[in-house]
Amino acid sequence: MNKKDNFIILGLIILAFIFRMLFEQFNIDWSLTWSYLSLFTIISTYYGIYSQRQNSDETFDFLMDFKGAAQGGAMFAFGTGLFTYIFYKVINPFFLQNFDAQRRAEILQSLTDNGETAENISKIMENHQNMGEMIYVPGNWSIITIAALTFLSIFYAFLFAIITKFFPKFVNQ
């Protein structure tokens, strides 16, 4: 990938960050985050394979197509993970704490509605507390984002490499 391609991937990362900020501003359900991140991962993965084919005169095989697509997706995953860390650490540092508190209240309500014993509720809530301290931390959440988007981009890279193997005009060479 050349410098222009890196700027386009950076643009996709910034666009994903703007979407995240809009979701936060308009109180849109946070679970939609993975929908738009999946879309941007698909776009960046496709752009990776497209730019590799446009920037090279070589004959491409499955492995080269896969590498190009995975590279674009991995760059997007890393950049998004970095912005995720910044978002949860600097911009909205209480988001994960509020999310954890809300989830804790939902679990407690569900357990009391199901008639669980106080001892069982205490154990489950302690387990949730221990798990929340490990997961709902900006650094760990960023790593989870990078890992999930990297695996997603590898999956899409595999699909795009198969598609370009059987339909070479898909990438418009």
Q: In the chain, what are the domain boundaries?
A: 3-92+138-171
pLDDT of residue 77: 94
pLDDT of residue 173: 52
Alpha helices, H only, the chain: 3-25, 33-54, 62-86, 95-113, 118-135, 138-166
Q: Which helix (H) or strand (E) holds 61?
A: none
Residues constituting the chain: 173
Kindly report, residue by residue over 43-75, the tens digit of the pLDDT: 999 999 888 888 877 777 888 889 989 999 999
pTM strictly above 0.75: yes
Average pLDDT estimate for 109-116: 86
Contact assessment for residue 75 and residue 44, using Cβ atoms and an 8 Å cutoff: yes
